[in-house]
Chain A
């Protein structure tokens, strides 16, 4: 892995400045999911050969957390976005 990844604050920087927190997962919602759903969420990843949404942090840079759409075959980053703020309580 040696590609450049754009940080929403700092622009394109070498990927070694970042920490990847893996693909975006969906936490099971509502009351007690089945063991299967829970296990699925905790341990399984889709690991697609293609475009994947994932969490990144500019760890050795500005520290920003953001989402990126990356093609896992080519490491081309199609888009980045900042996470949404919580809906007002």
Chain B
């Protein structure tokens, strides 16, 4: 069915391209689209409609309607009429039960299916509620557009790029190209975006041409995302020229969706671009000169054209298309049947103004020409060509009057909405166009109103007896063209942070888990308790590189820190460490860590593993508010850290330093900070006791991570993971901010009343602490031991006299204590040491007793050893 060579054809007849369609071999030429190749090989039915499963064929052949949506290489909803052919592509029809030509569900068209009434969803999804899941299941199968292939992960690379342009031209028709070229003479930075195939690879002097590519919308601030196939460009331009042209509007008449009813531009494309003879007998219903030309082009292509009607002049009242098995067999014009297999019909052209409307342009109705035109463009925008209304006009698209018993007249082919549906919506009181849009879903389908907005407004105006200007348009919202969700989501990132020692943990067989943004070892073996025992009895080492590490330096570093923390720092000697807690002005505990004074004006602050970024931002913000002369530098990633802990820690360390006297008990005391070379690596060593034994936290340059780790392990240190560390810290009743505390917790209720120095003039959270001190205490965080050997879940309910009275935040079995221990929030009157209460564990309650102080080594002798 190909014609002889056409002057402007896009196909290369020397290059056959083979693909599969619906399981069978199919083919075309380079330059074809999948749709044109299928059409040339005789395929006429391209899809089944959304609700009624009516057969549908090419309507616009320019990527605007829903009629040719298919699944191509597992990507659903591809418009094959504009999708370039590619060798080996696997093309499947969608929304079909059976085959395209014989769809079992087409009965819904004849007898009325579940969707027949407009507003079906609103009528059905009411009662009984338990039916909803069933409805949903059935509906998902009946309706809808395409299926996501859940096993398919091939087409998963999407990129997002931020771009600037001086002038961005949307639309590569004559006016768009001319504007781009003119702008290019005035300087660089001109980009032209066009959705068609014709400009693919085209060269315009000084213009970057993106084609085929689609501008998806215009957002606030003149942001124009452009889908360039696998890449999303987020454009910002100083000037945006919209030359999106005009859209041919379908006529609305009974049978207007039959296969073989087409818009003139689509027919022209088949002939001109792809050298296809579209039919053997055609009736042309024209509303502009372009469509009349198409009649000539059809004749030239050897198509018989028994009837051409110019709707602008001919007083044609009634049009109807008759079909056999869904395909056009005749056009009935004012009662006279003309046999044909193609009806070329349009109501004329309507400016394609949606992008401008999104940008904030007002849209006005022009009754003399029957079109909506953009008016009052926002600053920085320009409209050119047909989008301004130039050369546009439409005749009244509704041609179905009096067709009581005829076929359906579709206002919206995407959503299968007929004139009857709209009439019914109006009768039911949905008498504003915005309400009707939501009720009937007209304009909400894949064409986004391109082919149905005008007709629905005019139908509304006619039925309600008001003017089109009064009816107005519905709000144009992005995306203007359909887009793959993957493109909007952008490249798939799941960033994980790993310490420089991480692969040693993997080699040692550690179980790795997420800890905030980090991947960390949970434990190295099956038995975390063995790792706990190693720390208590001998020596352990844990990778704590994940701790946040911040340097605060400057003449006013002390002032800044004293105002950020409830603690005092001015009285600290260089080389000493203090535990600190950050609270908000509302009194909430935000983070905790250690603060080491390295010099008069230099402090080294550690934060929790998840808190580094937030604490850095918090420091910087307050410093900006107060304007102190202090610098804040987040060095978390630059430094690795390990905690060497256990009774043998000093002995092991002394073998790795130059002078063992440097780490002797009185030379390196508890809460001292010291610079030390350990195994040849310059370290900042902090003597602290988070895990309750003699311990040294070594902070050093990340690249030395594996080296130092290996040396410590060689000295007999057992690697221990997060889980043993949780047990160890709980034995010392050390809290974890965010686990044992929440947004309601404050310093006093969390048992840290010793910490805030209220005599200071100011610190963040001071006012709240003072207020809390005056107010009646609500609850308190205390330790407890279980009476039985069961571990309550975190969050387990505390039961007091049969009623809920608090909650457990942490609980673990401790070998060293010989009991299950934990932390819980209790009413203050229940917090005496030894008070009994109950905890709900697995549907029963188990007794527990309040325990003050650390569970293990209450005097702290071991960590001070």
B585 contacts A by Cβ under 8 Å: yes
Q: Are B586 and A42 in contact (CB under 8 A)?
A: yes
Interface size class of A (residues with CB under 8 A): 20 to 34
Residues of B within 8 A of A42 (CB): 584-586, 768
Q: Are B620 and A27 in contact (CB under 8 A)?
A: no
Give the docked Cα–Cα distance between A63 and B633 (Å): 11
Q: Are A41 and B627 in contact (CB under 8 A)?
A: no
Residues of chain A in range 60-89 having any CB-CB distance to chain B below 8 Å? 63, 65-66, 75, 83-86, 89
Q: Are A57 and B617 in contact (CB under 8 A)?
A: yes
Q: Are B585 and A2 in contact (CB under 8 A)?
A: no
Residues of A within 8 A of B627 (CB): 83-86
Give the docked Cα–Cα distance between A85 and B219 (Å): 37
Q: Kindly provide the distance from the CB of A49 to the nearest chain B CB, expressed in whole angstroms.
A: 16
Q: Are A86 and B767 in contact (CB under 8 A)?
A: no
Give the docked Cα–Cα distance between A84 and B657 (Å): 47
Which of A57, A75, A86 is within 8 Å of B621, CB to CB?
Answer: A57
Residues of B within 8 A of A38 (CB): 767-768, 771
Give the docked Cα–Cα distance between A1 and B771 (Å): 38
B861 contacts A by Cβ under 8 Å: no
Residues of B within 8 A of A4 (CB): 221, 236
Give the docked Cα–Cα distance between A3 and B617 (Å): 23
Residues of B within 8 A of A19 (CB): 617
B181 contacts A by Cβ under 8 Å: no
Q: Kindly provide the distance from the CB of B767 to the nearest chain A CB, expressed in whole angstroms.
A: 5
Residues of chain A in range 19-58 having any CB-CB distance to chain B below 8 Å? 19, 21, 27-28, 32-33, 35, 38, 41-43, 55, 57
Q: Are A65 and B768 in contact (CB under 8 A)?
A: no
Which of A15, A41, A86 is within 8 Å of B626, CB to CB?
Answer: A86
B115 contacts A by Cβ under 8 Å: no
Q: Kindly provide the distance from the CB of B588 to the nearest chain A CB, expressed in whole angstroms.
A: 9
Give the docked Cα–Cα distance between A30 and B816 (Å): 50
Residues of A within 8 A of B236 (CB): 4, 14
Which of B219, B586, B620, B626 is within 8 Å of A63, CB to CB?
Answer: B620
Residues of B within 8 A of A75 (CB): 220-221
B628 contacts A by Cβ under 8 Å: yes
Residues of B within 8 A of A89 (CB): 556, 559
* Given A1-B220, A2-B223, A3-B221, residue A83 in contact with residue B624 (CB < 8 A): yes
Residues of B within 8 A of A2 (CB): 219-221, 223
Residues of A within 8 A of B584 (CB): 42
Residues of chain B in range 557-596 having any CB-CB distance to chain A below 8 Å? 559, 584-586
Chain B, residues 236-258, CB within 8 Å of chain A (1/0): the string is 10000000000000000000000
Interface size class of B (residues with CB under 8 A): 20 to 34
Residues of A within 8 A of B586 (CB): 42-43
Q: Kindly provide the distance from the CB of B820 to the nearest chain A CB, expressed in whole angstroms.
A: 38
* Given A3-B221, A83-B627, residue A41 in contact with residue B585 (CB < 8 A): yes
Q: Are B771 and A3 in contact (CB under 8 A)?
A: no
Q: Kindly provide the distance from the CB of A43 to the nearest chain B CB, expressed in whole angstroms.
A: 7
Which of B234, B617, B625, B767 is within 8 Å of A59, CB to CB?
Answer: B617
Give the docked Cα–Cα distance between A21 and B387 (Å): 42
Which of B220, B628, B770 is within 8 Å of A86, CB to CB?
Answer: B628
**Closest residue on chain B to residue A34 by CB atoms:** B771
Q: Are A35 and B771 in contact (CB under 8 A)?
A: yes
The number of A-B residue pairs with CB atoms under 8 Å apart is 57
Residues of B within 8 A of A57 (CB): 617, 620-621
Residues of B within 8 A of A15 (CB): 221
Q: Are A14 and B162 in contact (CB under 8 A)?
A: yes
B601 contacts A by Cβ under 8 Å: no
Residues of B within 8 A of A33 (CB): 767
Q: Kindly provide the distance from the CB of A61 to the nearest chain B CB, expressed in whole angstroms.
A: 12
Q: Are B621 and A65 in contact (CB under 8 A)?
A: yes
**Closest residue on chain A to residue B634 by CB atoms:** A63
Give the docked Cα–Cα distance between A89 and B178 (Å): 65
Give the docked Cα–Cα distance between A17 and B586 (Å): 28
Residues of chain B in range 582-641 having any CB-CB distance to chain A below 8 Å? 584-586, 617, 620-621, 624-629
Give the docked Cα–Cα distance between A57 and B768 (Å): 26
**Closest residue on chain A to residue B584 by CB atoms:** A42
Which of A27, A41, A65 is within 8 Å of B624, CB to CB?
Answer: A65
Residues of A within 8 A of B234 (CB): 14
Give the docked Cα–Cα distance between A35 and B768 (Å): 9
**Closest residue on chain B to residue A27 by CB atoms:** B585
* Given A14-B162, A27-B585, A38-B771, residue A3 in contact with residue B625 (CB < 8 A): no
Q: Are B767 and A32 in contact (CB under 8 A)?
A: yes
Q: Kindly provide the distance from the CB of B381 to the nearest chain A CB, expressed in whole angstroms.
A: 16
Residues of chain B in range 161-184 having any CB-CB distance to chain A below 8 Å? 162
Give the docked Cα–Cα distance between A52 and B219 (Å): 22
**Closest residue on chain B to residue A66 by CB atoms:** B624
Residues of A within 8 A of B162 (CB): 14
Give the docked Cα–Cα distance between A41 and B764 (Å): 13
Residues of B within 8 A of A14 (CB): 162, 234, 236
Q: Kindly provide the distance from the CB of B605 to the nearest chain A CB, expressed in whole angstroms.
A: 17
Q: Kindly provide the distance from the CB of B638 to the nearest chain A CB, expressed in whole angstroms.
A: 16
Residues of B within 8 A of A43 (CB): 586
Give the docked Cα–Cα distance between A1 and B541 (Å): 47
Residues of chain B in range 748-782 having any CB-CB distance to chain A below 8 Å? 767-768, 770-771
Chain B, residues 217-239, CB within 8 Å of chain A (1/0): the string is 00111010000000000101000
Give the docked Cα–Cα distance between A28 and B617 (Å): 22
Q: Are A32 and B621 in contact (CB under 8 A)?
A: no
Which of B585, B586, B767, B768 has the most chain A CB within a 10 Å cutoff?
B767
Residues of B within 8 A of A27 (CB): 585
Which of A28, A35, A41, A83 is within 8 Å of B625, CB to CB?
Answer: A83
Give the docked Cα–Cα distance between A84 and B771 (Å): 30
Give the docked Cα–Cα distance between A19 and B617 (Å): 10
Residues of A within 8 A of B625 (CB): 83
**Closest residue on chain A to residue B585 by CB atoms:** A42
Q: Kindly provide the distance from the CB of B168 to the nearest chain A CB, expressed in whole angstroms.
A: 15
Q: Are A3 and B768 in contact (CB under 8 A)?
A: no
Q: Kindly provide the distance from the CB of A19 to the nearest chain B CB, expressed in whole angstroms.
A: 7
Residues of A within 8 A of B621 (CB): 21, 55, 57, 65
Give the docked Cα–Cα distance between A14 and B627 (Å): 27
Give the docked Cα–Cα distance between A28 and B628 (Å): 20
Which of A3, A32, A59 is within 8 Å of B770, CB to CB?
Answer: A32
Q: Kindly provide the distance from the CB of A5 to the nearest chain B CB, expressed in whole angstroms.
A: 9
Residues of A within 8 A of B556 (CB): 86, 89
**Closest residue on chain A to residue B762 by CB atoms:** A27
Residues of B within 8 A of A55 (CB): 621, 624
Residues of chain B in range 770-811 having any CB-CB distance to chain A below 8 Å? 770-771
Residues of A within 8 A of B559 (CB): 89
Q: Kindly provide the distance from the CB of A65 to the nearest chain B CB, expressed in whole angstroms.
A: 4
Residues of B within 8 A of A21 (CB): 621
Q: Are A65 and B620 in contact (CB under 8 A)?
A: yes
Residues of B within 8 A of A63 (CB): 620
Q: Kindly provide the distance from the CB of B559 to the nearest chain A CB, expressed in whole angstroms.
A: 8
Q: Are A28 and B767 in contact (CB under 8 A)?
A: yes
Chain B, residues 818-859, CB within 8 Å of chain A (1/0): the string is 000000000000000000000000000000000000000000
Residues of A within 8 A of B617 (CB): 19, 57, 59
**Closest residue on chain B to residue A4 by CB atoms:** B221
Give the docked Cα–Cα distance between A57 and B223 (Å): 22
**Closest residue on chain B to residue A12 by CB atoms:** B236
A-B contacts, 27 of them at CB < 8 A, read: A2-B220, A2-B221, A3-B220, A4-B236, A14-B234, A14-B236, A19-B617, A27-B585, A32-B771, A35-B771, A38-B767, A38-B768, A38-B771, A41-B585, A42-B584, A42-B586, A55-B621, A55-B624, A57-B617, A63-B620, A66-B624, A83-B625, A84-B627, A85-B629, A86-B627, A86-B628, A89-B559
Seen from chain B, the residues whose Cβ lies within 8 Å of a Cβ on chain A are 162, 219-221, 223, 234, 236, 556, 559, 584-586, 617, 620-621, 624-629, 767-768, 770-771
Given contacts A55-B621, A65-B620, A84-B627, 8 further A-B contacts (CB under 8 A): A3-B220, A4-B221, A14-B234, A55-B624, A85-B627, A86-B627, A86-B628, A89-B556
Closest 4 CB pairs of A and B: A3-B221, A86-B627, A65-B624, A85-B627
